[in-house]
Amino acid sequence: MDYAHAEKILSVSDLVIKFNLRGRVLTAIRGISMDIYKGESLAIVGESGSGKSVFTKSFMGLLDSNGWIDNGSIMYGGVDLAKYTTEKQWLRVRGREIAMVFQDPMTSLNPLKTIGRQIQETVELHQGLRGGAAREKTHEILRDVGIAEPERRAKQYPHEFSGGMRQRVVIAIAVACSPRILICDEPTTALDVTIQAQILQLLRNLQSKYGLTVVYITHDLGVVANVADRIAVMYAGDIVETGLCEEVFYNAQHPYTWALLASLPQLGVRGEELNSIAGTPPSLFADIKGDAFAPRNPRALKIDYLLRPPFFEVSPTHRART
């Protein structure tokens, strides 16, 4: 991936997203600014609750009804998506431009419809085909994602498929939309390790075949190492470090990234003490003053409790808030 000549496809600037939970306001995303480049594989890493899913869902208007974009902009194709309010506007984006693959393939599929119908529905919607032509295309897509005997399998129900195959079906649905950006929300978390590699390989193939920009959301650094060109590390609703894959793995600058990498158990090393990060992430109901990670950071500076550290450039492609 050539970043020197890369073109921005999506630009987020100062995004703030809040949720209303029975009267209390929770700030899930606290002012993120980030760019996504065309054709890259970006991995967004962070622990549960850091806001990874919420961040990407906002690109498609899939926030829960009690959430809203409080501030900031999402520039895509010259339009600010953050300003979209009606479903009609979002329907221009969803599927057609940006598609999503969810974590749990079993619940993502309608259990009472055959998978053929579910894929065909997408084909009819986004590729304008009908009837026989749509069915042909459905079989073709099934073959693309590696499901043998597509004619027979298309008539089956989701519960007749194994986990890995179901995830392939979900990917098929996403790809059938012929989007520009594909967001994969923890695509392999619910799968066996052996299947994980296959799915990741599949995604890589599809990416090169269709020229997609892929955003991976994961908390598994192994997956990241496998597929990502660039990494963004999230903590408590904020991005703390972004950089090329090698840069972040070998030259991490933010203490949270250090802690994440350090907590990976090493294979082959015996009697190793497992490192964990002390403390818990902050409650996002309160306004967080300063650096969110400061209380858990043994090397925090006094100023970190007062001000949020700005991004420091380590290299043209590597920045960290520290």
Partner 1 sequence: MFLYVLKRLFQSLITLFVITTVVFLLLRLMPEEGYFGENYDKLDEMQKEVILTEMGLRDPLHVQLGKFYKNLFHGDLGRSIVFRPRVKIWRIIKPKVPYSLWFGVASVTLSLLIGIPMGLFMARCKGHWFDSLGSGYIVLINSVPAAVYYLFIQLYLSSALRLPMLFDARNPASWVLPAVSMSLSGIAYYAMWVRRYMVDELNRDYVKLARAKGLSSTQIMTRHVIRNAFVPVTQYIPMSFLLTISGSIYVESLFSIPGMGGLLVTAIQRQDNPLVQALVLIFSSVGILGLFLGDVLMALFDPRIKLTRKAASR
Partner 2 sequence: MSSFDKLTTSMESVTAEQLKDLDPALFEFAPYSENASESRGYSNYAYWRSTWRSFSHNRTAMTLLIGLIVLLCFTFVQPLLPAQKSPTQVYTNAQTGRQERNHAPCAEFWFGTNTIGQDLWARVWSGTRTSLLIGLAVGLWNAVLGIIVGALWGYVRRLDGLLTEAYNVVRNIPNSIILILASYIMRPSVGTMIAAMCVTGWLPMARFVRNQIVIIRDREYNLASRCLGTPTERLIRKNLLPYLVSVIMLRIALAIPQAIGQEVFLTYIGLGLPVSIPSLGNLINEGRIVMMSASTRYQLLFPALVLSAVTVSFYVMGNAFADAADPRNHV
- Binding residues for partner 1, rule: CB under 8 A, are 60, 62, 87, 91, 94-96, 99-100, 102, 104, 107-113, 121-122, 125-126, 157, 159, 170, 173-174, 177
Nearest to 246 by CA among 320, 321, 317, 310: 317
Could you give the CA distance from residue 92 to residue 19 in angstroms, rounded to a whole number?
Answer: 25
Cα–chain center distance at 277: 23
Secondary structure class of 294 (helix, strand, coil): helix
The only residue of 91, 133, 262, 307 in contact with partner 2, by rule CB under 8 A: 307
Nearer to partner 2, 204 or 308 (CB): 308
- Closest approach, Cβ 63 to partner 1, in A, equals 11
Residue 63 partner contact from partner 2, partner 1, none using kind-dependent CB cut-offs of 5 to 8 Å: none
Q: For the packed helices 115-126 and 163-176, what is the interaxial angle rounded to 10 degrees? A: 20
Nearer to partner 2, 176 or 236 (CB): 236
Under 8 Å between Cβ of 212 and 206: yes
Residue 215 partner contact from partner 1, partner 2, none using kind-dependent CB cut-offs of 5 to 8 Å: none
- In angstroms, the Cα distances linking 171 to 118, 208, 278 are 12, 15, 37
The only residue of 128, 131, 310, 316 in contact with partner 2, by rule CB under 8 A: 310
With CB under 8 A as the contact rule, which of the stretches 147-155, 212-220, 222-230, 279-287 interacts with partner 2?
279-287
Hey, what are 239's tokens? Answer: 């991005």
Nearer to partner 1, 170 or 294 (CB): 170
Q: Does 308 bind partner 2 (CB under 8 A)?
A: yes
Q: Does 78 bind partner 2 (CB under 8 A)?
A: no
Residue 270 partner contact from partner 2, partner 1, none using kind-dependent CB cut-offs of 5 to 8 Å: none
The only residue of 1, 31, 38, 127 in contact with partner 2, by rule CB under 8 A: 31
Could you give the CA distance from residue 293 to residue 289 in angstroms, rounded to a whole number?
Answer: 11
Nearer to partner 1, 113 or 289 (CB): 113
Mode of pairing for the β-strands spanning 213-218 and 230-235: unpaired
Could you give the CA distance from residue 129 to residue 80 in angstroms, rounded to a whole number?
Answer: 30
The only residue of 77, 211, 222, 279 in contact with partner 2, by rule CB under 8 A: 279
Q: Does 21 bind partner 2 (CB under 8 A)?
A: yes
**Bridge-partner residues for 200, per DSSP?**
none
Could you give the CA distance from residue 141 to residue 198 in angstroms, rounded to a whole number?
Answer: 17
Nearer to partner 2, 1 or 301 (CB): 301
Hey, what are 124's tokens? Answer: 């009819």
Q: For the packed helices 193-210 and 163-176, what is the interaxial angle rounded to 10 degrees? A: 20
Q: Which residue carries 């002390």 as its tokens? A: 278
* Beta carbons within 8 Å of 168's beta carbon, 6+ residues apart: 145, 146, 147, 199, 202
- Closest approach, Cβ 65 to partner 2, in A, equals 16
Could you give the CA distance from residue 240 to residue 188 in angstroms, rounded to a whole number?
Answer: 24
Nearer to partner 1, 110 or 263 (CB): 110
Q: Does 229 bind partner 2 (CB under 8 A)?
A: no
- In angstroms, the Cα distances linking 7 to 39, 135, 299, 316 are 9, 36, 37, 15
Nearer to partner 2, 158 or 281 (CB): 281
- Closest approach, Cβ 126 to partner 2, in A, equals 36
Nearer to partner 2, 75 or 301 (CB): 301
Residue 111 partner contact from partner 1, partner 2, none using kind-dependent CB cut-offs of 5 to 8 Å: partner 1
List interacting residues with partner 2 (CB under 8 A): 21-24, 31, 33, 278-283, 286, 288, 294-308, 310-313, 319
